[in-house]
């Protein structure tokens, strides 16, 4: 809170403010020094001691004594003894109906030195009944006052406040629980999940410090335990360890930033990870994911338990108390949760864990926390190979769709999932290495299984599809090619699950080659017989593996993130799969597919033609038919960019007439940046002008780009700069003079046009091209006919890199 304008200098003791500033600065120096005399935990305790000493000393100067009319009460961080370097100081000055002038004088002498020390102060002056009434009227204020702690003055006043607020909280929360839950979900919606955010909000995000305070509030209301039960094998050491880790990271974040801050910025992550002895930013992200998911699971359990403990309302009060409904052997439903039957013997029943999980998946009910804890304590290991019933239960869980996510998360947070799949530890909470992936690696595997569950009717072996989806990236986090490492682990897992040797071989092949179809479809010419033959050879002619790879490619893409899977990518992979299936069947590879008859008619008409037709709800297919010439591709891409049509994918084709004339047939899948697309007649007119040189596309696009992007860029990044460096990869082909250039770069509105223009200026003849946009990144492949590949490659590389966005140079800073 800012200092009020009516600032009265006579109410301030300047020396008191200076002493406080000097002492806090010394603590921060000790915490940030090379020898780090104070770690994050010690720094918080030292700050608590500093503020308490200052407040008690100041209280004695003002006559705030244990038998007086005042009390100083701390809430927030100081109340919880979790004082961070730049946290607000939340204080209540309680009084016993003191007269106005005297009260104002005491308050001024207490608040103004803190303002002079530039400490952000959230203060109030109230009687006990007033403070209790505020807590009764405002949920946020009530949650804050539950942390109230006596600092100085009359402890009886403080005890009346603390006792009154907590008693009212216990009485009223059962009727206010719905409002509290709605408030929590709104906060989660606003701040996101810490576990899956590149720059998480450590305080307000799902799985953050606010959620830990929520658990404490529910425990005070006697609606749940303060610490929900977690198994002894729970990753990360349980809720207490997660709380400490979040506090440590937030402490270092504020120390590094030199200001109040709750959002962990990417540029600070390496320094914070080093200061805490964790490692680099990826190690820090993994630790935060583990802590946040542990907190998130605990909050889910706490809210569910609180809802069950709250009194029923309306007609629900007339319902009979829930009875135990049998679900499976040793498994029942009770009180809206999956639990154990009275005669269940978890210590003698190895398959009980999976039966409980399968029952939860079938009924879409959560597993009770006490049930999970009991299983974690007593359930023995499954014998190897697994009995068929255990494998069947696992497949039921994997094929249950979205409900599998919460069920597997509960098993994982309590240590049970790691017992079933010991290989899971290497990918648990492992952060992705690129911006395309939304989830951590372990969550991505579960999401892939969820999407694969919707594709099981397309394949002849849905069981192998679900298992492959679950383990296709299991080789990550171990070094080396994760496809090769994962294939060995898949063999190990398949043998443990009790699969037939032939099925283990299929599972291994699918994991080993799960990137084959997407990579070939994006990089190679599908009309080239050698391309399809290479796919068939890599899979040893196994049509079942091909069928599973096609389905897994879709599930894997959909689980990666928005924009990774679309109609164009689907059509490419479908085409490649169909051709490879024909080769595996022993049939002769057909000639290239003829151009659509409707387009052939346009070819016969000659001239420049542009057709625009809807492809999906927000995308359109633009077909350009024109006499083939060097630079046509660049002109077409430039005209589309000029009309604010974002190219999502593109493909180049050509038709050779009987007289030897070649006509280009180029197709573009585009999405308007806003509104509806322009009329095809307008696109055609501008394309003709561009071909004739009447439009300077380069200059027009440069003006358009400058007008569209603010000078300061986005989020402080200068205009034109990227977050990741671009990459160019060259591939050889069997055709003399032909090379394939793969471009990976952050997407820009005019990127395709600029790259195509560079290729034209380098006299590189584009024989075919495949353009794919994956979220913020493009992966474009160009098959180029070069005069002298040895020298042309280097020249083209330099020219293309010159027009691509590069990361901004590091900002200058005084911090070493």
Predicted confidence (pLDDT) per residue in 352-381, tens digit: 999 999 999 888 899 998 999 999 999 899
CA dist 326 → 337, 352, 359, 360 (Å): 12, 14, 10, 12
The sign of the CA dihedral 297, 298, 301, 306 is: negative
Strand partners, 744: 727, 779
Predicted confidence (pLDDT) per residue in 415-444, tens digit: 999 999 999 999 999 998 777 888 999 999
Q: Inform me whether the pLDDT recorded for 719 exceeds 70.
A: no
Cα atoms found within 13 Å of the Cα of residue 62, Cβ hemisphere only: 29
Spatial contact of 761 and 792, defined as CB atoms under 8 Å apart: no
Run of H or E residues at 609 = strand 609-614
pLDDT value of residue 34: 63
pLDDT value of residue 320: 52
Domain spanning 9-175, CATH class: alpha beta
- Of residues 539 and 804, which shows the higher confidence score? 539
Other Cβ atoms within 10 Å of 804 Cβ, number:
21
Spatial contact of 719 and 712, defined as CB atoms under 8 Å apart: yes
Is it true that the peptide bond before 385 is cis, omega within 30 degrees of 0?
Answer: yes
Q: What angle do CA 167, 146, 136 make, to 5 degrees?
A: 55
Spatial contact of 74 and 149, defined as CB atoms under 8 Å apart: yes
Burial letters 143-160, b for 16+ CB under 10 A, else e:
bbbbbbebbbbbeebbeb
Same fold, 9-175 and 192-312: no
Report d(CA 665, CA 623) in Å as an integer. Answer: 7
Cα atoms found within 13 Å of the Cα of residue 148, Cβ hemisphere only: 31
**Look-up: residue for tokens 């095809």?**
680
- The edge-to-edge listing of strands for the beta sheet with 331-334 is 325-328, 331-334, 337-340
Q: Inform me whether the pLDDT recorded for 48 exceeds 90.
A: yes
Interstrand relation of 325-328 and 331-334 (parallel, antiparallel or unpaired)? antiparallel
Report d(CA 195, CA 413) in Å as an integer. Answer: 13
* Token couple for 405: 């996510």
Q: Euclidean distance between the first and final Cα of the chain, in Å?
A: 33
- Of residues 510 and 657, which shows the higher confidence score? 510
Report d(CA 62, CA 101) in Å as an integer. Answer: 14
So where are the chain's domains?
A: 9-175, 192-312, 604-708+719-803
CATH number corresponding to 192-312? 1.20.120
Q: Average the pLDDT over each of 285-294, 435-444, 471-480, 743-752 and give the range with the smallest value.
A: 743-752
pLDDT value of residue 596: 67
pLDDT value of residue 538: 93
Q: Quick one: average pLDDT of 60-67?
A: 85
Percent of the chain at pLDDT > 90 equals 46
Q: Quick one: average pLDDT of 135-157?
A: 93
Strand partners, 732: 739
Report d(CA 146, CA 148) in Å as an integer. Answer: 6
Report d(CA 480, CA 471) in Å as an integer. Answer: 17
Q: Average the pLDDT over each of 354-358, 547-551, 726-730 and give the range with the smallest value.
A: 726-730
Cα atoms found within 13 Å of the Cα of residue 483, Cβ hemisphere only: 7
Report d(CA 792, CA 322) in Å as an integer. Answer: 76
Q: Inform me whether the pLDDT recorded for 492 exceeds 70.
A: yes
User: Which pTM does this prediction carry?
Assistant: 0.70
pLDDT value of residue 311: 63
- Of residues 636 and 523, which shows the higher confidence score? 636
- Of residues 544 and 656, which shows the higher confidence score? 544
Spatial contact of 295 and 212, defined as CB atoms under 8 Å apart: yes
Burial of residue 348, with CB atoms counted within 10 A of its CB: 0-12 exposed, 13-18 middle, 19 or more buried? exposed
Predicted confidence (pLDDT) per residue in 220-277, tens digit: 988 877 555 554 455 556 888 999 999 999 999 998 888 888 999 988 999 999 989 9
Helices (H), 513-586: 516-523, 529-538, 543-560, 567-584
Q: How confident is the model at residue 685 (pLDDT cuts 50, 70, 90)?
A: very high
pLDDT value of residue 3: 41
Spatial contact of 494 and 474, defined as CB atoms under 8 Å apart: no
Other Cβ atoms within 10 Å of 783 Cβ, number:
22
Q: Inform me whether the pLDDT recorded for 464 exceeds 50.
A: yes
Spatial contact of 94 and 126, defined as CB atoms under 8 Å apart: yes
DSSP, collapsed to helix, strand or coil, labels residue 633 as helix
Interstrand relation of 738-746 and 777-785 (parallel, antiparallel or unpaired)? antiparallel
- In DSSP notation, 438-493 reads -S-HHHHHHHHHHHHHTTGGGSS-HHHHHHHHHHTTTTTTSSS-HHHHHHHHHHHH
DSSP, collapsed to helix, strand or coil, labels residue 685 as helix
Burial of residue 171, with CB atoms counted within 10 A of its CB: 0-12 exposed, 13-18 middle, 19 or more buried? exposed
Other Cβ atoms within 10 Å of 470 Cβ, number:
24
* Token couple for 138: 């405002």
Q: Inform me whether the pLDDT recorded for 709 exceeds 50.
A: no
DSSP, collapsed to helix, strand or coil, labels residue 93 as strand
pLDDT value of residue 13: 56
Q: Inform me whether the pLDDT recorded for 795 exceeds 80.
A: yes
Q: Inform me whether the pLDDT recorded for 6 exceeds 80.
A: no
* Token couple for 351: 């398959």
Q: How confident is the model at residue 711 (pLDDT cuts 50, 70, 90)?
A: very low
Report d(CA 785, CA 768) in Å as an integer. Answer: 10
Q: Average the pLDDT over each of 8-22, 331-345, 455-469, 481-495 and give the range with the smallest value.
A: 8-22
DSSP, collapsed to helix, strand or coil, labels residue 126 as strand
Predicted confidence (pLDDT) per residue in 581-601, tens digit: 888 876 544 333 456 677 677
- Of residues 1 and 384, which shows the higher confidence score? 384
Q: Average the pLDDT over each of 43-52, 226-235, 297-306, 647-656 and give the range with the smallest value.
A: 226-235
Instruction: Please state, rounded to an integer, the average pLDDT across all residues of the chain.
Output: 85
Predicted confidence (pLDDT) per residue in 164-222, tens digit: 999 999 999 888 899 999 999 999 999 999 998 889 999 999 999 999 999 999 999 88
pLDDT value of residue 136: 93
Q: What angle do CA 219, 413, 336 make, to 5 degrees?
A: 60
Q: Inform me whether the pLDDT recorded for 385 exceeds 90.
A: yes
Q: Quick one: average pLDDT of 669-681?
A: 82
CA dist 642 → 315, 639, 695, 745 (Å): 63, 5, 11, 20
Q: Quick one: average pLDDT of 402-407?
A: 92
pLDDT value of residue 404: 92
Q: Inform me whether the pLDDT recorded for 532 exceeds 70.
A: yes
């Amino acid at each position: 809170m800012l200092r009020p304008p009516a600032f009265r200098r006579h109410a301030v003791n300047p020396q008191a403010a200076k002493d406080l500033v000097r002492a806090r600065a010394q603590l921060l120096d000790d915490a940030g020094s090379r020898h780090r005399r104070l770690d994050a935990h010690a720094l918080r305790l030292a700050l608590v001691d500093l503020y308490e000493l200052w407040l008690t000393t100041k209280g004695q100067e003002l006559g705030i004594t244990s038998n007086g009319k005042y009390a100083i009460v701390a809430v927030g961080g100081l109340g919880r003894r979790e004082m961070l370097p730049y946290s607000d100081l939340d204080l209540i000055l309680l009084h016993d109906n003191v007269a106005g002038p005297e009260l104002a004088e005491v308050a001024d002498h207490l608040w103004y030195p803190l303002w002079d020390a530039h400490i952000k102060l959230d203060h109030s002056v109230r009687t006990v009944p007033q403070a209790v009434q505020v807590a009764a009227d405002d949920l946020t204020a009530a949650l804050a006052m539950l942390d109230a702690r006596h600092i100085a003055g009359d402890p009886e006043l403080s005890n009346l406040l603390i006792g009154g607020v907590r008693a009212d909280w216990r009485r009223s929360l059962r009727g206010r629980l719905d409002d509290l839950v709605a408030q929590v979900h709104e906060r989660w919606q606003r701040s996101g999940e810490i576990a899956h955010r590149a720059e998480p909000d450590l305080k307000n995000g799902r799985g953050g410090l606010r959620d830990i305070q929520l658990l404490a509030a529910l425990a005070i209301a006697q609606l749940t335990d303060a610490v929900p039960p977690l198994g002894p094998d729970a990753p990360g050491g349980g809720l207490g360890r997660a709380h400490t880790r979040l506090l440590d990271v937030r402490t270092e974040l504020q120390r590094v930033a030199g200001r109040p801050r709750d959002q962990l910025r990417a540029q600070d992550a390496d320094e914070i990870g080093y200061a805490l002895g964790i490692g680099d930013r990826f190690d820090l992200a993994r630790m935060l994911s583990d802590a946040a998911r542990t907190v998130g699971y605990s909050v889910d359990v706490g809210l569910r338990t609180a809802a069950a403990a709250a009194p029923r309302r309306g007609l629900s009060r007339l319902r009979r108390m829930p009875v135990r409904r049998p679900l499976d052997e040793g498994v029942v439903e009770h009180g809206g949760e999956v639990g154990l039957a009275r005669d269940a013997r978890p210590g003698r029943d190895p398959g009980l864990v999976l039966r409980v999980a399968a029952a939860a998946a079938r009924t879409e009910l959560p597993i009770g926390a006490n049930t999970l804890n009991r299983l974690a304590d007593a359930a023995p290991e499954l014998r190897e190979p697994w009995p068929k019933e255990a494998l069947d239960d696992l497949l039921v869980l994997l094929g249950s769709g979205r409900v599998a996510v919460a069920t597997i998360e509960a098993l994982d947070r309590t240590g049970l999932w790691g017992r079933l799949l010991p290989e899971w530890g290497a990918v648990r909470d492992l952060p992705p290495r690129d911006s395309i992936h939304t989830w951590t690696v372990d969550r991505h595997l579960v999401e892939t299984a969820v999407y694969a569950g919707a594709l099981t009717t397309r394949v002849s072996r849905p069981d192998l599809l679900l298992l492959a989806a679950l383990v296709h990236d299991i080789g990550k986090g171990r070094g080396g090619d994760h496809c090769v490492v994962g294939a060995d682990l898949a063999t190990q897992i398949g043998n443990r699950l009790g699969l037939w040797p032939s099925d283990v071989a299929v599972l291994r092949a699918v994991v080993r080659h799960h990137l084959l179809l997407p990579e070939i479809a994006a990089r190679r010419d599908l009309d080239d017989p050698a391309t399809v033959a290479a796919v068939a050879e890599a899979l040893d002619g196994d049509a079942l593996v091909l069928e599973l790879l096609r389905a897994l490619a879709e599930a894997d893409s959909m689980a990666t993130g928005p924009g990774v899977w679309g109609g164009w990518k689907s059509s490419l992979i479908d085409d490649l799969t169909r051709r490879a299936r024909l080769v595996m069947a022993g049939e002769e590879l057909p000639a290239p597919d003829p151009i659509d008859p409707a387009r052939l008619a346009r070819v016969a008409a000659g001239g420049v033609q542009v057709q625009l037709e809807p492809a999906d709800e927000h995308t359109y297919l633009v077909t350009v038919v024109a006499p083939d010439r060097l630079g046509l591709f660049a002109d077409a891409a430039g005209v589309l960019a000029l009309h604010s049509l974002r190219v999502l994918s593109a493909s180049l084709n050509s038709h050779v007439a009987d007289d030897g004339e070649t006509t280009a047939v180029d197709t573009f899948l585009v999405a308007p940046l806003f509104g509806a697309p322009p009329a095809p007649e307008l696109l055609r007119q501008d394309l003709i002008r561009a071909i004739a040189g009447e439009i300077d596309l380069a200059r027009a696009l440069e003006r358009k780009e400058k007008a569209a992007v603010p000078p300061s860029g986005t989020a402080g990044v200068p205009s034109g700069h990227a977050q990741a460096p671009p990459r160019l990869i060259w591939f050889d082909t069997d055709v003399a003079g032909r090379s394939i250039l793969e471009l990976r770069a952050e997407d820009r509105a005019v990127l395709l046009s600029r790259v195509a223009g560079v290729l034209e200026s380098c006299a590189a003849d584009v024989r075919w091209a495949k353009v794919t946009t994956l979220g913020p990144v493009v992966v474009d492949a160009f098959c180029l006919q070069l005069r002298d590949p040895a020298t042309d490659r280097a020249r083209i590389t330099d020219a293309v890199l010159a027009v691509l966005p590069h990361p901004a140079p590091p900002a200058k800073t005084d911090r070493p």
